[in-house]
Amino acid sequence: MSTTTALQSVHLFPFEQYWWFYVAFTLLVIGLLALDLGVFHRKAHAVGMREAAIWFVIWTCLALVFNYGFYQYALWRFPQVDELMAVAGFDPATAAKQVGLEFLTGFILEKSLSADNMFVFVVVFQYFGIPREYQHRVLFFGILGALIFRAAFIAVGSLLIQFQWVIIVFGVFLIFTGLKMMFAGDEKVEPEKNFVIRMFRRYVPVTSHLKGQRFFTIENGRRMATPLLVCLLFLEMTDIVFAVDSVPAIFAVTREPLIVYTSNVFAILGLRSLFFLLAGAIHLFHMLKYGLAIVLIFVGLKMVWLNKLFGGHFPIALSLGIILGVIAGSIVLSLVFPKKPAPESD
């Protein structure tokens, strides 16, 4: 039995032993976010390309440093766990390399899929007329909500993924979603038709104009929400929709909830900088949605067929190469074959 096959029969990071890691990691993330908003972005301002690029590099480097530390920890810890060493064919060094590659693949997969959010974010900010200097604040609190919802989805997914029929259902769903993304046209963003937004406006009074970067204000002695809060609420709703796709996708890469959670969080943390980095040029990457569709179909096929074909687990290094190759290829094709401008109407 190979190490890759052996990993399918054991839990490398059981929650009852690593609950402290979840707590410490979550506190670290909260501290980083507090430092980000409370120090570096305390005053509202429009985030430029240079600043966005710097923060994108910072968040990416933090993820890579964590990945290296995670690999070194696994390399040190695995030989000390009797339950792991008792598994036939288990090799600590190979297992540590495997989890390191799984984190990296999961991070890149989630980061790539989150790029699809950028198209929606741009349209939503335009729809609500949110100035650039307030967009960072909306995205910051949007990420806080996203972290909570992703943690809940991952917790549920980690329980369901133990059943083989759930794996098949997840895989079929991802294939269907990928095919739908590939052949569907551009969807219109219509917040006023969203059920949650309509219910919110029915029971919560909303001002007709912004009040700086505040989510609530008081007018004529009455507490009211501002369009900034409605925009935030709609972004949270769209992230839940994206999470339905992305969380099952990462379970195709790894079955370890700890790896799923940490790679997901690091991908989300860099979402704001990615948005400001791409917002002005998002229209250039019109082929990206096809690349993302192929990636979703690929990870779906992994769950329903490819893993079995390769003895229980499709090679993680090959998965990483395919995902990177498809995403890079779609970006290059977008630049080589730019989208033709729509003809002007008379």
Show Cβ contacts of residue 11 under 8 Å, excluding neighbours closer than 6 positions. 256
pLDDT tier at 329 (50, 70, 90 boundaries)? very high
pLDDT tens, position by position, 199-223? 888 888 888 888 888 899 988 888 8
Q: Which residue has the higher pLDDT, 200 or 115?
A: 200
pLDDT reported for residue 45: 67
pLDDT tier at 264 (50, 70, 90 boundaries)? very high
Q: Which residue has the higher pLDDT, 187 or 1?
A: 187
**Interatomic CA distance for residues 252 and 177, integer angstroms:** 15
Is the predicted pLDDT of residue 341 greater than 70, yes or no? no
pLDDT reported for residue 273: 85
Query: 206 φ, ψ to 5°?
Result: -125, 135
Give pTM, 2 decimals: 0.87
Is the predicted pLDDT of residue 292 greater than 80, yes or no? yes
pLDDT reported for residue 187: 60
Is the predicted pLDDT of residue 105 greater than 90, yes or no? yes
pLDDT reported for residue 40: 66
Q: Which residue has the higher pLDDT, 145 or 263?
A: 263
pLDDT tens, position by position, 44-71? 667 777 888 888 899 999 999 999 999 9
pLDDT reported for residue 188: 66
pLDDT reported for residue 339: 77
pLDDT reported for residue 342: 58
pLDDT tens, position by position, 78-89? 999 888 888 877
Q: What is the mean pLDDT of residues 269-291?
A: 81
Cα distances (angstroms) measured from residue 338 to each of 113, 264, 287, 335: 21, 31, 9, 5
pLDDT tens, position by position, 214-257? 899 988 888 899 989 999 998 888 888 778 878 888 888 888 99
pLDDT reported for residue 2: 54
Is the predicted pLDDT of residue 269 greater than 60, yes or no? yes
**Interatomic CA distance for residues 263 and 316, integer angstroms:** 15
**Interatomic CA distance for residues 210 and 260, integer angstroms:** 38
Is the predicted pLDDT of residue 145 greater than 70, yes or no? yes
pLDDT reported for residue 346: 45
Is the predicted pLDDT of residue 326 greater than 90, yes or no? yes
Tokens (6 digits) for 179: 């095919």
Angle between helices 195-203 and 227-251 (to 10 degrees): 150
Is the predicted pLDDT of residue 192 greater than 80, yes or no? no
